[in-house]
């Protein structure tokens, strides 16, 4: 059996579900095709920053997020056993309208799943193996699963992560080679989510920790009930004969991903931003604006490059790997002497960029006016 749906979203992760939640409120029919057979909790925690909280508020999710998360009020920075000081992240609400909120990742994923329509729109067990442009068919694009199921769409959005089948298929159809890999960086990661830490008090609520050691870094983010979501990174030596550019994801399974737990907030924030802008672009495209998706691509590519550059620069500071041997001195100066207000000023380009769906905002304003009239 085949069917036609205006929008097909491949991938039921955070980006795909956010896009689905927005399309649902814009009354644009869609389905989400997820490779996994069932919903399974993966990962540890996630920190939701102001640049994605505004659209989550637009989707009506902010209240439940606030009720089940912990605001980030401060980060204590340590060098070995010495505490260098505390960065006051409670200023974020004054500067950007929201504080950073830390929450269990699977809990946040569930909120998005429900906002996107849940079982009505998300289809599990869809392992996409082909995406075909076919202008002579009932719709421009045909999506095919490994068991032969087919669905037609006007727009297909790939939101299936680092091991993207969408990217691999489209690159292959264009004569390009696409390898979905993460190169070995010489570091190993661990991540987890603690039970409530009984030795902590109410004074510790909302406090995260950055612990800087010579060969490793441990960062923790505060969650409810004095739980801590932590990420550790340690330098690892290559085994004899091991190539430094091997992929750590070759042959990975869902269990592998869950065990590694290396989920990066910047990527997830960008996925939410992407979905927000893409929802309006899809609406414009379906109404006949042929340039809408190209405009989206240009706009988001610039933002993605800025985020990637920031991440690389910040990693150099955090690990004291700056040119001319200046890393340790610069890191010490920044973490011990730079005031918290300067941190907020510097993060303005990241946290202050808070995209929302303009189309949904129009609908909500009109609905608000209608309620006042009634």
Q: 98-130 pLDDT, tens per residue? A: 999 999 988 999 999 999 999 999 999 999 999
Question: Which of the two residues, 190 and 65, has the higher pLDDT score?
Answer: 65
What digits encode the pLDDT tens for the residues 73-83? Answer: 999 999 998 99
Across 274-278, average pLDDT: 96
Span 338-343, average pLDDT: 96
Closest CA to 148 of 127, 168, 169: 127
Question: Which residue did the predictor score with more confidence, 315 or 223?
Answer: 223
Residue 312 neighbours by CB distance under 10 Å = 9
Residue 39: predicted pLDDT = 73
Taking residues 328-352, what's their average pLDDT? Answer: 94
| Residue 237 vs residue 11, higher pLDDT | 11
Gap between the Cα atoms of 51 and 353, Å rounded: 5
pLDDT at residue 374, as a whole number? 58
* pLDDT confidence of residue 257: 39
- Name the nearest CA neighbour of 13 among 133, 127, 120, 159: 159
**pLDDT averaged over the chain?**
86
Top mean pLDDT of 29-43, 213-227, 257-271, 309-323 is at 213-227
Element spanning 8, H or E: strand 4-10
pLDDT at 247: 46
Q: What confidence tier does 61 reach under pLDDT thresholds 50, 70, 90?
A: very high
Classify residue 213 as exposed, middle or buried by CB count within 10 Å of its CB (0-12, 13-18, 19+).
middle
**What pLDDT, on the 0 to 100 scale, is given for residue 232?**
85
Would you state the pLDDT for residue 317? 86
| 38 phi/psi in degrees, rounded to 5 | -145, 165
Quick one: what percent of the chain has pLDDT higher than 90? 59
Least confident of 186-200, 220-234, 275-289, 336-350: 186-200
Helix (H, G, I), strand (E, B) or coil at 101: strand
Averaged pLDDT for residues 284-306: 92
pLDDT at 193: 86
Q: Phi, psi at residue 27, to the nearest 5°?
A: 60, 40
In contact, 28 and 178? CB cutoff 8 Å: no
């Amino acid at each position: 059996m085949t069917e036609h749906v205006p929008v097909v979203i491949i991938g039921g992760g955070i980006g795909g579900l956010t896009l689905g939640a927005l399309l649902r409120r814009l009354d644009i029919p869609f389905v989400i095709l997820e490779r996994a057979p069932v919903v399974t909790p993966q990962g540890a925690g996630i920190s939701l920053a102001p640049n994605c909280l505004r659209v989550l508020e637009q989707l009506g999710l902010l209240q439940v997020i606030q009720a089940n998360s912990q605001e980030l009020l401060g980060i204590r920075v340590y060098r070995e056993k010495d505490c260098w000081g505390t960065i006051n992240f409670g200023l974020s609400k004054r500067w950007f309208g929201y504080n950073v909120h830390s929450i269990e990742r699977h809990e946040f994923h569930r909120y998005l799943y429900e906002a996107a329509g849940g079982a009505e729109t998300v289809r599990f067990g869809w392992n996409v193996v082909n995406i075909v442009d076919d202008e002579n068919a009932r719709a421009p694009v045909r999506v095919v699963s490994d068991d032969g199921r087919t669905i037609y769409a006007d727009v297909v959005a790939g939101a299936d992560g680092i091991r993207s089948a969408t990217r691999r298929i489209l690159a292959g159809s264009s004569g390009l080679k696409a390898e979905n890999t993460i190169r070995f960086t010489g570091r190993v990661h661990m991540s987890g989510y603690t039970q409530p830490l009984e030795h902590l008090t109410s004074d510790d609520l909302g406090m995260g920790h950055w612990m800087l050691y010579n060969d490793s870094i441990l960062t923790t983010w505060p969650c409810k009930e004095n739980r801590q979501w932590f990420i550790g990174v340690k330098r690892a030596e290559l085994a004899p004969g091991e190539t430094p550019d091997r992929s750590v994801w070759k042959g990975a399974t869902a269990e592998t991903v869950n065990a590694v737990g290396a989920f990066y907030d910047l990527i997830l924030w960008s996925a939410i931003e992407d979905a927000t802008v893409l929802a309006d672009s899809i609406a414009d495209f379906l109404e006949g604006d042929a340039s809408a998706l190209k405009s989206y691509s240009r706009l988001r590519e610039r933002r993605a490059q800025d985020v990637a550059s920031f991440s690389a620069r910040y990693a150099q500071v955090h690990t004291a790997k700056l040119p001319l041997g200046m890393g340790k001195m610069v890191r010490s100066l920044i973490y011990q002497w730079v005031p918290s207000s300067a941190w907020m000023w510097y993060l303005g380009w990241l946290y202050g960029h808070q995209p929302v769906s303009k189309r949904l905002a129009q609908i909500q304003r009109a609905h608000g006016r209608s309620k006042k009239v009634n």
